[in-house]
Structure 1
Amino acid sequence: MDKIRAFIEEQFLIEFDDDFPEDSNLFKEGVMDSFGYVQLIRFLEKEFTITFSEAEMTGNVLVSLTRMQEAVAAKLAARDGATA
């Protein structure tokens, strides 16, 4: 999950800390726009070999680092459980 944090901090030139917690909404804070969001989704899908549905991408699921990490963890658990 550190890869997600590193990608966001590098891509959007921010640093998560006490003033900018991991549960900050990246859209509302003006950090991420729709183009950046598409790049982020592509990174997550490629890096973790997962796929997000349209509902997940448009349903405010992936708006903060915390929620992204939870979504990726759930996808990985479902995928690994299905292949076990």
Structure 2
Amino acid sequence: MPMDKIRAFIEEQCLIEFDDSFPEDSNLFKEGVMDSYGYVHLCRFLEREFGIHFTEAEMTGNVLVSLTQIRDTVAAKLAQGAQQ
């Protein structure tokens, strides 16, 4: 499933593993596993991998702070693109 690529990317880049002690809705910034450099890297990966684009407002608006939110945002962008 394509969304599994997102989880694998975050786990690899942040050296974490999502499980019961670190759920997918954990705030990656508050937990200290993601910094601004990692965030930009993540956004560029998502744009390349899924052919989507993030606006500056989306990138700075706390939209992509957890795996759950990232998946939801990517799914919404893909659905939106399919409707155009």
Normalised by the size of structure 1, how large is the TM-score?
0.97
Deviation digits for residues 2-61 of structure 1 (CA, Å, limit 9, x no counterpart): 000000001110000000000000000000000000000000000000000111000000
Alpha-carbon distance in 1 for matches of 2:37, 2:55: 18
Tell me which of 11, 14, 17 is aligned to 2:16: 14
Q: How many residues align?
A: 82
Aligned to 2:33: 31
Aligned to 2:52: 50
- Over the residues paired in the alignment, what is the CA RMSD in angstroms? 0.4
Aligned to 2:71: 69
> Which SS does the other structure have where 2:5 is aligned?
helix
Alpha-carbon distance in 1 for matches of 2:40, 2:56: 12
5+ residue gaps, structure 2, are none
5+ residue gaps, structure 1, are none
Q: After the TM superposition, which segments of 4 or more aligned residues of structure 1 sit over 6 Å from their partners? A: none
